[in-house]
Structure 1
Amino acid sequence: MPNVYRLIAQDLLRHHPGRTAVGLLGLAASIGFGLAAPMALATVIDSMSGRGPAARPVLVLALVLAGALAGSALASRASADRASATTARHRGAAFTAALRRPPYDAGFPDGELLARCSSDAETPARIANIVLGSAVTSVGGLVAFVLLCTIDWRSAVVVAAELAVSWFVVRAFLRGSAEPEAGYRAARGALADLLVDAHRGARTIAALGTHDRELRRVLAPLADLRAAGRLSWRAQRDVGWRMGLLDPLLNAVVLAVAGLSAVAGRLGPGSVLAVLLYSQLTLMVLEQVDSLAAGVRALAGTRRLAELLAAPPPDPGGTARLPSGPGRLTFDRVRLDGRGGDVSCTIPAGAHVAVVGPSGSGKSRLVALVGRHADPDAGRVLLDGHDLRTVPADDVRAAVAYAFEEPNLFGATLGAAIAAGSDLRDEDVMRAARLARADAFVRRLPAGYDTPPGDAPLSGGERQRLGLARAFAQPARVLVLDDATSSLDTATAAEVAHAVRDAWHGRTTLVVTHRAATAAAADLVLWLDAGRVRGYAPHRALWSAPGYRALFGAVEHDPVPQGSAA
């Protein structure tokens, strides 16, 4: 379990020491002047009873109250500044950790990541403010108790007795608050993940007419939310009525004890009022119950945030630079996802290789290793004879370009999305779009290449062609198409295949595909099954195997034209 307490301490002491110091100063001033207020008020009352001049005590009381107000304002401002800065820093760190997670490794679902980067990122700042406020308030309560003892020790005994009784009530409450809050946040994360999943499939849900069933599925975590919320409210209800009975009972007992002291001549009118006020200031510790409960609830969110931040960063690789080369790939006894077998083969430089296999065979995992989007459980991946783990990850990413089945278009415009942050000229962007057969439909848009991606009504196939254009625009030596033409019709897919040949002539290409025609057009086919190489040869040489033909849904007949490329 990540050390959340160290995380909170670093927020207070390392990252925001100035704001913490100012906040402590404001809290100390507020509590200090608040402790002086009962004595100042008692002096005013005594002076009004004919025991001395009233002007000066009233002025002192006014200054004390003004000082308490100023200290409170200073503490509130420092607290707000520290909270906003802390939340911004944790939210940035959470987003960075989320983006750095290996995309092919198991991790947090999308909804969980959203919850941890948003609401959970606010909890450390909340706890830090509660810690500071409770600490200063507790010290102030202790000082108030000492002052109460100097005025009337009998009343102090009564206050001490209530504190002892209240402690057991509060302790049970805080213990019972942690578990329901953890369950509540877990259920909320599950709800967010289901909602994100349903939003992605909104068109499919509408087409199938399964709205009601999906609504029940998405809202299923509400039962856990409701149960956790009821447990939390029940705990607050129990402590509320108990503390609600104790507080007026204490006031009545303290007033009775102070009144008896006044009748006996031990206390004057001002001192009686001071006893009541100092008893209330002493019991400010009990008024922190709500804050402490909020801190316990926030602690569950901080633990979830710390889990995300504590995830190990991806291996940055070695320091040896990756020299230029033709693009020869070697898989040396590579094991995928802890499977029993391994993959050993060499892809010649400049070869176009189709990667095929049934669902779950490890195709996407294997091609992810080429760009170090994931690392093998065992074995090595070599590019032009260099182990990819021995060179910086940035060198690997610059040498390998990817296009995916569902490309995300980042950037302010479609042109920027194709350039993908690179310093490319407009003509280079348009050339890549032409090669991917995307230039024509982009030019038909009102703003052309300046159209924001969110404003462009793109089909799945058009998005894939833009993803291909982005890959074509990169000056890499290896191109990986991870099912990147699945949404294209047969004619467009054939055009794109020819474009890949033209644009990537002499450079290595790996194509994850489910199409027999794409496999037939490749130089070689790498046939995977359960993380092992079942075949590595030209398409026509593998076609005689029934298991290979079954991959393309053709067992009884050969759909490949006689003139297809081997």
Structure 2
Amino acid sequence: MRVLGVAIRAEPRVFALSVIASGVYAAMTVGTAQVLGWATEEVMLPAFRSGDTTAGALAAAAVAIMAVALFKALGVAGRRFFAGLMQYRMQARYRRAVTRQYLRLPLAWHHRHPTGQLLSNANADVEAAWAPIAPLPMAVGVVFMLVIAAVSIVLTDVTVAIVGFLVFPAIALLNVLYQRRLAPVATRAQQLRAEVSEVAHESFEGGLVVKTLGRERSETERFAAAADALRDANIAVGRVRGLFDPVLEALPNLGVLAVLLVGSARLDAGAMTAGDLVHVAYLFTLLAWPIRALGWVLAEVPRSVVGWRRVRGVLDAGGSLPYGEDGLDGGGGKAAALEVREVRFAYETAGERGEDLQEGGHGEDGGDREGADGGRAPAPTVLHDVSFATEPGRTVAVVGPTGSGKSTLTSLLVRLVDPADGSVLLDGVDARDVRRGGIAATAALVPQQTFLFDDDVRGNVTLGLDVPDERVWEALRLAQADGFVAALPGGLDTRVGERGATLSGGQRQRLALARALVRRPRLLVLDDATSSVDPQVEARILQGIRDAQESGEGGATVVVVAYRKATIALADEVVYMEHGRVIDRGSHAELLDRSEGYRNLVNAYERAEAEQEALDAEAEAQAQAGGAGAGTDERPGGEEGEEVEALR
């Protein structure tokens, strides 16, 4: 009732109109019985007795029946229209509410919840929550109809009314039993819908891994197991409903039979007329079908309650990032001053997959931190008292082995998450004190994993930003992407396919970089964002950003997570990290001279790059020999970089 109350309060006028239309239908249903009883007593029986009737009597009966039928049809049409309007409005309203909440919630919350579950919350759960809205007005009309019918039957014959009314306690008892049987299996089915969506989404997301490692059969079996479990749960729901529906339909018919038996005896005794019996019996016959509307509402209630709870779980979720009132100069201004002050960060943990899923890391710092028993595990600290500062317009390279906290640091710099202790300051302003949208207008992150939408090049670069094509081409030039974009059949209007499937890994990375540069950020954070680009092209990109800063055309403070020695050497300063701590800072040459760990790491990367370049050269030679030449600035294998990652 609380769930239905939410809908009624949200759409009071539409609900009122649907109930009024349902009330008209209910009144005309009872009116049909009244008209038929009158026609039987005043037109049909006299005609049988005399063997003749008049045109006026037939016309009066026909007009009465047609008038009732017309108003009944209008009631049906109005009820269905307004009930459907109310249902779809509620579904649309809560889909938007869930989506807005997804956008408000911080990345840390999303880490704990599988994407498949979030899709299920926004679609299947919202639909289930408001499924009872469509039959609700009719059910309300049925209640109105039952009141009218009860009064009419009692006024006609009390004895027959008592016999007929025995069916209603039986229906009430049946509904109570039905709810108790259906609620747990409906809950299970709704949960399994989310799990099937989750498995499917993971398989599609990991399509490249599935194909390259030959895991099609295992993924098919995994999905089949989830789908079979959902099938079994839905069959269990169907079994319960299959038992309930026939009995619910039979009870009113049994009531009609009882009324006919008792009414016939009363007719023989002269206690009631034939017209009264037809009136009462037909009224019970009409009530048999509308009573099912109550069953339809009750049948949807368990799924509705489950869906509502899951939707409310999203809408009531906490952890949204608070914002202040301080402003920052937007993009296009001078580069920002950056300071990281004694930052400590630990990923949250969770105890239950789905609702409180263990929060895993992302990028290089990821991993499953859930305890072996699925319970709440101690939260590992990823960053420990990290501090450094840089002047506007400088380039800082963050270097460290896998798991040292570099990707987590990049998320903190653009405030995807907040530190547990310490602060990140832009132009001396704590990021937590900046008003909503201020960080996004000032800083841009190009992450490790490149994502392109199934849109044209222009749409993927601007993402809805209203900028002229000249500015788009400027960003493409800085990202060293103007050459291949100009060579595409439609230029900026060329569609890149789902996730940029028609482009190479390096091309996708450069479009993602152009997406950040077109906003002219004052702080540009690159999380190993050029790993699939040739080193010479990468050097031109970083040099282009530096030249833009020096020429006054708009520049940025650049923080780059780097592995290549050539990239690191371009930085003004290097921050070397191990195990979430800043071990040393200085120029590349200074760290090579005084830090053994840094020297060993960078040299290991350089050896890995040399071996990878040799493999690339061999693959390119083979491709050219086969007449299928690849671009000279791309890595075969695209953005994955499996060999380099393995060597790292």
Same fold (TM over 0.5): yes
* CA displacement at 1:43 relative to structure 2: 0.4
Residue type of the partner of 2:21?
A: G
TM-score (norm 2): 0.78
* Offset from partner CA, 1:354-412 (integer Å, 9 cap, x none): 22344444322322222222222333221111112222132221111222233334595
Runs (5+) with no aligned partner, structure 1: 561-566
User: More displaced, 370-379 or 461-470?
Assistant: 370-379
TM alignment of 1:163-312, pairs within 5 A:
163-243=168-248, 246-280=251-285, 284-312=290-318
2:561 is the counterpart of 1:512: yes
Residue type of the partner of 1:391?
A: V
2:426 is the counterpart of 1:383: yes
- Select 2:2's aligned residue among 5, 16, 41: 5
3-state SS, counterpart of residue 441 of structure 2: helix
CA distance in 1, matches of 2:243, 2:302: 17
3-state SS, counterpart of residue 118 of structure 1: helix
Decide whether the 8 Å contact of 2:447 with 2:527 is kept in 1. yes
**What is aligned with 1:454?**
497
Decide whether the 8 Å contact of 1:166 with 1:286 is kept in 2. no
3-state SS, counterpart of residue 488 of structure 2: coil
Pick closer, same or farther for the CA change 1:472–1:220 going to 2, 3 Å: same
2:354 is the counterpart of 1:354: no
* Offset from partner CA, 1:176-225 (integer Å, 9 cap, x none): 22332232222222222222222233233223222112212233312331
Decide whether the 8 Å contact of 1:330 with 1:345 is kept in 2. yes
2:38 is the counterpart of 1:43: yes
Residue type of the partner of 1:331?
A: V
**What is aligned with 2:461?**
418
Superposed CA RMSD in Å reads: 3.1
| Identity fraction in percent | 30
**What is aligned with 1:564?**
none
Pick closer, same or farther for the CA change 1:250–1:356 going to 2, 3 Å: farther
User: More displaced, 102-111 or 425-434?
Assistant: 102-111
Pick closer, same or farther for the CA change 1:76–1:481 going to 2, 3 Å: same
* Offset from partner CA, 1:406-446 (integer Å, 9 cap, x none): 33345953134323433433232212212211111111111
CA distance in 2, matches of 1:54, 1:466: 81
* CA displacement at 1:159 relative to structure 2: 3.0
**What is aligned with 2:72?**
68
Decide whether the 8 Å contact of 1:173 with 1:239 is kept in 2. yes
Decide whether the 8 Å contact of 2:27 with 2:148 is kept in 1. no
CA distance in 2, matches of 1:559, 1:463: 20
* CA displacement at 1:104 relative to structure 2: 4.9
2:560 is the counterpart of 1:554: no
Residue type of the partner of 1:218?
A: F
**What is aligned with 1:367?**
410
CA distance in 2, matches of 1:209, 1:24: 58
CA distance in 2, matches of 1:513, 1:160: 81
* Offset from partner CA, 1:476-519 (integer Å, 9 cap, x none): 21101122112224443333333343345563111123444433
Pick closer, same or farther for the CA change 1:486–1:161 going to 2, 3 Å: same
**What is aligned with 1:481?**
526
Decide whether the 8 Å contact of 1:148 with 1:275 is kept in 2. yes
3-state SS, counterpart of residue 26 of structure 2: helix
* CA displacement at 1:265 relative to structure 2: 1.0
3-state SS, counterpart of residue 487 of structure 1: coil
Decide whether the 8 Å contact of 1:97 with 1:313 is kept in 2. no
* CA displacement at 1:45 relative to structure 2: 0.5
- Select 1:525's aligned residue among 552, 574, 578: 574
Pick closer, same or farther for the CA change 1:289–1:514 going to 2, 3 Å: farther
- Count how many residue pairs are aligned between Structure 1 and Structure 2: 555
Decide whether the 8 Å contact of 2:80 with 2:134 is kept in 1. no
Pick closer, same or farther for the CA change 1:154–1:541 going to 2, 3 Å: farther
TM alignment of 1:63-142, pairs within 5 A:
63-105=67-109, 106-142=111-147
Residue type of the partner of 1:300?
A: V
3-state SS, counterpart of residue 355 of structure 1: strand
CA distance in 1, matches of 2:419, 2:535: 34
User: More displaced, 178-187 or 543-552?
Assistant: 543-552
Decide whether the 8 Å contact of 2:568 with 2:574 is kept in 1. yes
* Offset from partner CA, 1:447-466 (integer Å, 9 cap, x none): 11221333972112101001
* CA displacement at 1:237 relative to structure 2: 2.6
CA distance in 2, matches of 1:172, 1:261: 35
* CA displacement at 1:249 relative to structure 2: 3.3
CA distance in 2, matches of 1:123, 1:245: 27
Decide whether the 8 Å contact of 1:130 with 1:295 is kept in 2. no
Decide whether the 8 Å contact of 2:253 with 2:285 is kept in 1. no
2:338 is the counterpart of 1:329: yes
Pick closer, same or farther for the CA change 1:250–1:411 going to 2, 3 Å: closer
* CA displacement at 1:46 relative to structure 2: 0.6
* CA displacement at 1:259 relative to structure 2: 1.3
Decide whether the 8 Å contact of 1:330 with 1:382 is kept in 2. yes
**What is aligned with 2:376?**
none
Decide whether the 8 Å contact of 1:145 with 1:279 is kept in 2. no
Pick closer, same or farther for the CA change 1:96–1:287 going to 2, 3 Å: closer
**What is aligned with 1:29?**
24
Residue type of the partner of 1:276?
A: A
Runs (5+) with no aligned partner, structure 2: 48-52, 348-379, 611-648
3-state SS, counterpart of residue 373 of structure 1: coil
CA distance in 1, matches of 2:250, 2:603: 76
Decide whether the 8 Å contact of 1:130 with 1:292 is kept in 2. no
TM-score (norm 1): 0.88
CA distance in 2, matches of 1:115, 1:521: 46
